Amino acid sequence: MNSAESSPRPGPRVGLFVTCLVDLFRPSVGFAAVKLLEDAGCTVEVPEAQTCCGQPAFNSGDRATTEALVRGLIDAFEGYDYVVAPSGSCAGMLRTHVPDLFEDDPATAARGREFAGRCHELVSFLVDVLGVRAVPAQLERHATYHDSCAGLRELKIKRQPRLLLEGVAGLAVTEMQEPEVCCGFGGTFCVKYPQVSTKMVNNKAADIEGTGADLLLAGDLGCLMNMAGRLARRGSAVEVRHVAEVLAGELDAPPIGRPADA
Amino acid sequence: MSDNERRRAAILGRLRDVYRRSPEDEAVAIATVEQRVFHPAPNLIPARGQLDLAGRIELFTTMARNVQAEVDRVSRLADVPAAASAFLRRHNLPQKLVVAPDPVLQGAGFASQPLLRVRFGDADEHDQAGLTLAFAGVAETGTLMLCSAAERPTLLAFLPENSLVVLPTARVFGAYEQAWRELRRELGSPPRSVNFITGPSRTGDIAQRLELGAHGPRRLAVLLVDDFQAG
Amino acid sequence: MQPTSLAFQSKASSALADPNLQAALGGIKTGWQRGRILAAERLPEFEQLRDQARDIKNHALANLDFYLEAFEARVLDAGGQVHWARDAAEARRIVQEICEGAGARTVTKSKSMIAEEIGLNDHLEAAGITPVETDLGEYIIQLRKEPPSHLVGPAVHLTKDQVADLFEQTHGLPRTDDPTELVGQARTVLRQKYLAADVGITGANFLIAETGSAITVTNEGNAELTQGLPKVHVVIASLEKVIPSMEDAFTLLRVLARSATGQEFSAYTTVMTGPKRKGDLDGPEQFHVVLLDNGRTGMIGSKFQDMLRCIRCGACMNNCPVYLAAGGHAYGWVYVGPMGSVLTPQFVGIESAHTLPNASTFCGRCEEVCPVRIPLPNLMRHWREEQFKRQLVPSTVRQGLGTWGFLARRPALYRLATRVAMGVLGRLGRKRGRFASLPLAKGWTVSRDLPAPEGKTFMQQWRQRQRSRS
C-alpha cells in the first residue's frame, strides 16, 4: 500500500471491552470510556461477541471455563490495535493472567500472549499509550480516589488517574490515609466471607469519610459498588462514581446506588 | 545401612528424581555449588556499609544508640576499667564484674579501680554484670560480632542483666560481609558460636509494647577503644 | 494439631466481635506494618536486596540435594550430627531419642515453627519429657494451650490483662498488669528452667552449607540461653532452610527483620557451628541437626515450589486486610495469614483447609511486601484450582459459576438473559437506586446496599446508538 498519501494517519482502532459489570449495571461508564477514547483520536468499536473476561471462573479455580471464555475474547478482539477496558481488574486478568493460560495448547497460548499485549486499562491507556496529559473536564467537587488492587498491583496504575484528575477544573482531591488498602470486594470473596468483607469495607468507608470529600472515585465498578453499598448503608452523603465519568464529563447518570432525580 | 542413612537416601533420591539432571547439567550444578560454597562472594552491600573509618564509627554509634545501647568511647585500653566502673555507678549497680579471661582484658589494668571487684571467667546466674571483648563491630546496623573461644565464653554476654562489650575502633567494619572476611582470614572457619548483638534484649510479646531485658541483658554498653595496645 | 481451618468463617466472626483482639490487630498496623515501610525507606537498596534474596533461595531450591550434602559434611566436620526425617513422626521420634539418650527430664525450646508443625511438645510430654517454651510469646501460648496466632508474635492476640491473669494463675505471685513486671516475672521463672534443662531445642532461620552452621534470629536472647546452657543442643529445621554461604545469609538477614518488624536488625543473630570446642567454658557437648522433609521435596518442581522461599518474616500477614480482620486463630492451624493459606493445605490436605486459599480478595498486598517475592495470590489460586478439580467447591457456588459460564460462552443468549434480568432489576431499583435486600444476595446485602442497575445494558444502548447513527 502506498503510504505517501497526505491524509492524516487515523488513530488506533480500539476494541472496547465493556466488562460485564459496566454492561449490566453502569452503561454510562462504557459511554464515558468511548468518549474519552474518541476524544483522544481513537476509532472505537464494541465487538458483539464479548461477555466476560473469565476472572470469576479463574479465581474460583475453574480453568476450563476460564479458558473457554478467554478463547472467545481472543476471537472477538482479533485484529484490533488495542483492547481497552474501564476496569483494572478485568484488564489485569487479560494482561497479566491470560499469558499463563492454555498450558496444554501452545497455539492458543501464543495467541493469548499476543492478545494480552494489546490489552489495557482505560486511564493508563490514555496516559501511558496515547500520551494524554489533560482532559477538558470540569467539576466543582471535593473528591478522593481509591486505588483498586488489581489496577494498582498488577498494572501499576497509581499516578495516571491522579494526573488526569489534577487537570479537571474545579476538582479538589484529598488522599485517604490508606488509599491502597483493599475495599473488601474481592469478587466472590465478599459473599463467601461477608463478615470479613464488611469489616474491610467499613474501614474503607471510614477512611473515605475522614477525607472530608463528597465524591469517591475509582477505576473499578466492583469496588465502587461495594463501597457505594456500604457508604449508603452507613447513611453517608458521599457520592460514588467511576473515574471515567468525571474525566469524560458524562455525569447524566445519578451517582452509583442513587436514584435518578425525580 | 543405618535408619538414618536410609532416610537420607530417600530424601536425596526424591530430590534427584525431581531435578532429573542430565550428566552435563549435573556437572554444571556441582561446579556452581562448589563455587558458592568454597568461594563465597558478597552480594549487594548497601552504600551505608561502605564508609571510611570515621564514618563507620559515627554510624555504628548512632545505630547502636538507636536500639538503646549505650556507647562510650575511650582512648586507651587502660581506660576500660574506669569506664566499666562508671557504668555500674551510673546504674546503681554493685561494683562487681565478671570479665572474659582474655589476655588482653586481663592486661587492661583493672587494679586501677580498687572498688571494682573483678572475676575473670564465665558468668553464672548470680552475676549482674559481664564484660567481654568483641571480635568486630558492624556499622550498618550498630551490631557487635562476638566470637566464642576458651578465653571468651558466650554466656558472659547473655546471662547477666548488664552486658559490657569492649570494641576496638579499628575493628568497626562497614558491613557484615567485611567482618566475616576478617573472621575467615583470622580463624579460617567459624568458632562454635558467633553472636551478632544489636542492642539489649527486647520483646514486644506483651501487648506489642517494647520491653528491654526479656531473657538477655536489660542493658548493653559498648566501650569503644581507640588505642587497643595493652599496657 | 488437628486443623480447624474449615471453621474459618465462624472463627473470623467471633474474632470480629472481640474488641481486645481487634485492638491488638490494629496495633500490628501501626507497629510492624508501618515499621516495615519506614525501614525500607531508610535503606535505598531494599528492593534490590529483595531481588537478590529471592534469587538466593531459588538457586538453593534448584540445588537442594548438593547443598544438603555439603551442609551435612560440614556439620560432621565440626563434630555435630545430622538426622534426616522424612515426615513429622520420624522427626518427633528422633528428637525423643536424643532427649532420652541425654536422660532429659525437661527441655527448653526456643521458638520453632517446625516444632509446631510436627506437634513436638505434645509428643515429648507424652514421652514424659517436659518441654518449656522460652520465647515469651510462645511461653504464654504454651501456658494457654493455644497455637500461635502470628508467625513472629505468637501471642499478639492477647492483651496485657489477659497475660496478667495467666501469670497470676501460673506463677502464684501477686497480680500485676505492668508489662515490665510481667516480663520480669517470666524472666525469673524461665531462668531457672534454662539452668535445669538437659536439652535445648531451637529452630533455625538458615542453615549454611559453607560452614555447617545453623542461624537463629531472636530479640529476647532466649535462643542463646536455650542452646548455650544445656549439655545437648538440637536444631530442628526443614530442609529448604539450607543456603550456600554466610554472604547469602546476611543478604537474607538484611531483608528479614526489616520486613518482619521494621527493625534494622534483630537484637540477636547467632551462628552456631558444632558442639563446644576444646577449652570452651560453655556451650553444648552435643550438637544435633534434624532435617525435616514433611512433604517439601514434593513441592520442589511443583506449582508450589515458590512457597519454599519463605523466610517466615510475617510481613504477608502484617499487611493482609483479611488477617488483620480475622486474626491468626481463624486459620485453624500452625501457619496463618497468606503464607498459612498456602502452606496449611499442603500439610493437612486441601479437603481440610480449602477455606484458607479462599480467604483472600487477591488484593496482592502480601506479594507486594514479601521479601522473597513469593506470588502468594497465584499460589492460593492454584489451591482453588485443586479444590475445584476435587469437587470441594460448594454445589451452590459451582452451579452459579456453571450457569454464568454457560451463558457467558454464548454471547447471544447472554445478551438476552442479561437484558431481561437487568430490565427487571432496573425497574425494581429505580426509585431508590439501590436494594437493601435481595433474594440470593444475602452475603452482600447483610451489610451493604446493592446499587441497582441503570436498566438497559450498555450493549443494548450501544446497538440502539449505532442503529440511529447509521
Contact C434 A258 (CB under 8 A): yes
Is residue C406 a part of any domain in this protein? no
| Closest to A67 (Cα-Cα) out of C385, C392, C342, C374 | C385
Distance CA C334, CA A254 (A): 49
Residue C362 belongs to a domain: no
Whether residue B95 is predicted with pLDDT greater than 50 in this model: the reply is: yes
Across the range B205-215, mean pLDDT stands at: 94
State residue B49's pLDDT score.
Answer: 95
Q: Which residues of A touch C436 (CB under 8 A)?
A: 233
Average pLDDT over residues B166-190: 97
C348 inside domain: no
Residue C150 lies in a domain: yes
Facing C245 at nearest CB: one of B40, B67, B125 = B40
> Is the Cβ pair C326, A196 closer than 8 Å?
yes
Range of the domain at C66: 43-298
Give the DSSP letter of residue B207. Answer: T
- Quote the ipTM score: 0.97
The DSSP element (H or E) to which A126 belongs, if any, is: none
Closest to C291 in 3D by CA, of C240, C241, C239: C239
CATH assignment at residue C52: 3.40.50.10420
Contact (CB<8Å) C321/A200: yes
Whether the CB of B202 is below 8 Å from some CB of chain C: the reply is yes
Pick from A78, A17, A2: nearest CA to A50: A17
- With bands split at pLDDT 50, 70 and 90, how would you rate the model's confidence at B230? low
Q: Which of A72, A149, A226 sits opposite C409 (nearest CB)?
A: A72
| Structural domain contains residue C33 | no
- Shared domain check, C202 and C61: yes
Q: Select the residue of A56, A62, A258 nearest C433 (Cβ to Cβ).
A: A258
Q: Answer yes or no: do B201 and C221 touch at CB < 8 A.
A: yes
Q: Assign A3 a pLDDT band (cuts: 50, 70, 90).
A: very low
CA C414 to mean position of chain CA atoms: 43
Q: Given this model, what pLDDT does residue A8 score?
A: 57
For residue range C209-243, list pLDDT tens digits in order: 999 999 999 999 999 999 999 999 999 999 999 99
The whole-angstrom distance between A49's CA and the closest CA on chain C is 5
A190 vs C381: CB contact, 8 Å cut-off?
no
- What is the reported pLDDT for C397? 81
Confidence of residue C438 (pLDDT cuts 50, 70, 90): confident
| C454 Cα to chain B: minimum distance (Å) | 49
Count of domains for chain C: 2
Task: Report the amino acid identity of residue C93.
Answer: R
Which residues of chain C neighbour A157 with C-beta distances below 8 Å?
A: none
**Residue contacts between B and C (CB atoms, under 8 Å):** 268
Q: What is the mean pLDDT of chain C?
A: 96
Nearest CA in chain C to A72: C409
d(CA C311, CA B81): 42
Q: What are the residues whose beta carbons fall under 8 Å from the beta carbon of B210, sequence distance 6 or more?
A: B202, B203, B204
Q: Do C364 and A50 touch (CB under 8 A)?
A: no
Q: How confident is the model at residue B228 (pLDDT cuts 50, 70, 90)?
A: confident
Read off the C-alpha cell for A51.
461477555
Q: How far apart are CA C251 and CA A168, in angstroms?
A: 46
Give residue B139's pLDDT band: very low, low, confident or very high (50, 70, 90).
Answer: very high
Q: What is the pLDDT of residue A2?
A: 44
Whether B187 has its CB under 8 Å from any CB of chain C: the answer is: no
B1 pLDDT band, cuts 50/70/90, is confident
From C265, C298, C331, give the residue that closes a domain.
C298
Q: What is the mean pLDDT of chain A?
A: 95
Q: Same structural domain for residues C421 and C294?
A: no
A226, pLDDT greater than 80: yes
pLDDT of residue A4: 43
**Contact assignment for C160 to B209 by CB distance below 8 Å:** yes
Ranges of each domain in chain A: 13-127, 134-248
Beta-carbon pairs below 8 A across chains A and C: 210
User: Of C298, C323, C341, which residue constitutes the final position of a domain?
Assistant: C298
Contact state of C454 with A26 under an 8 Å Cβ cutoff = yes
Boundary-marking domain end, from C267, C298, C329: C298
Q: Is the pLDDT of residue B7 over 60?
A: yes
Query: Mutating which of C109, C224, C238 best tests the B interface, going by the most B Cβ atoms within 10 A?
Result: C224
Q: Do chains A and B touch (3 or more CB pairs under 8 A)?
A: no
Contact C381 A59 (CB under 8 A): yes
Confidence of residue A6 (pLDDT cuts 50, 70, 90): very low
- The pTM of this model reads 0.96
Q: Which of residues 88-147 of B touch C (CB under 8 A)?
A: 121-122, 125, 140-143
% of chain A with per-residue pLDDT over 90: 94
Looking at the domain A134-248, which fold is it?
Rossmann fold (3.40.50)
Predicted local confidence at residue A9, as pLDDT: 62
What is the tens place of the pLDDT at every residue in A148-159? 999 999 999 999
Chain C residues near residue A208 by CB distance under 8 angstroms: none
Distance (Å, rounded) from C-alpha A8 to C-alpha C143?
79
- Under DSSP, is residue C85 helix (H, G, I), strand (E, B) or coil? strand
Q: Which residue of C has its CA nearest to A205?
A: C448
* Nearest residue in chain C measured CA to CA from B204: C153
pLDDT at residue A58 above 60?
Answer: yes
Question: Do C297 and C304 meet the contact criterion of CB atoms below 8 Å apart?
Answer: no
Residue B159 at interface with chain C, using a CB cutoff of 8 Å? yes
